[in-house]
Amino acid sequence: MSGDHSDATIARRVRRLETLLEEKGLLSGGALDESIDAFLLGASPANGAHVVARAWTDPAYRARLLADGTAAVRELGYLREAAPRLRVVENTESVHNVIVCTLCSCYPLSLLGPSPSWYKSEAYRSRVVREPRAVLAEFGLHLPAGTEITVWDSSAETRYLVLPRRPEGTGQLTEQALAALVTRYALIGTAAV
């Protein structure tokens, strides 16, 4: 048997298995694409931190990122064509954003690495929508009473990434040094930087 022949056989078997899993509702095409994405691109919160640090240091990039997250993130080499749409939401003095998937556990894997276990928990998914301020306080994030909290519910089509506020006194830091300040929790919105 030639190598080509056996590769084709394996590819056909994999495809048949994918189809079967999708038909049984055990796997969505999007979820599979996302896993492949994560594998190929080295899924890590360092990727999301890189995007944030670039936005903090390059106003034109920040504008593109907020206008079309998917395209701007691809500029830096993240997200394949098949990945769900990415929307980047910016924290300001008056608005704080936090991400959840109330249905399951949708999450921008390739930019944030594997999701924390609490992200998938029933408690987080139901409570952060009803009482975001209390949930954030439990994470140690105490927001001023005047800060509006916006909760973004992820889906199979759209993923979210929080653009945290750049900390005071970091004007002289390089993009790389800034990226090192950005945590996975800050990219989900359950922490500040």
Q: Among all residues, which ones are annotated catalytic?
A: 101, 104-106
Rounded CA-CA distance 161/189 in Å is: 8
* Residue 40: CB minimum distance to Fe ion, A: 21
Sequence-distant (≥ 6) Cβ neighbours of residue 134 within 8 angstroms:
127
Taking the least distance from each CB to Fe ion, the nearer of 115 and 170 is 115
* Residue 179: CB minimum distance to Fe ion, A: 27
Taking the least distance from each CB to Fe ion, the nearer of 99 and 192 is 99
159, 86 contact by CB (below 8 A): yes
49, 179 contact by CB (below 8 A): yes
Tallying the residues shown for the chain, one arrives at: 193
| SS3 call for 158 | strand
* Residue 104: CB minimum distance to Fe ion, A: 3
Taking the least distance from each CB to Fe ion, the nearer of 95 and 103 is 103
* Residue 106: CB minimum distance to Fe ion, A: 3
Determine the residue type at 188. Answer: I
Enumerate binding residues for Fe ion (CB under 5 A). 101, 103-106
Rounded CA-CA distance 114/122 in Å is: 17
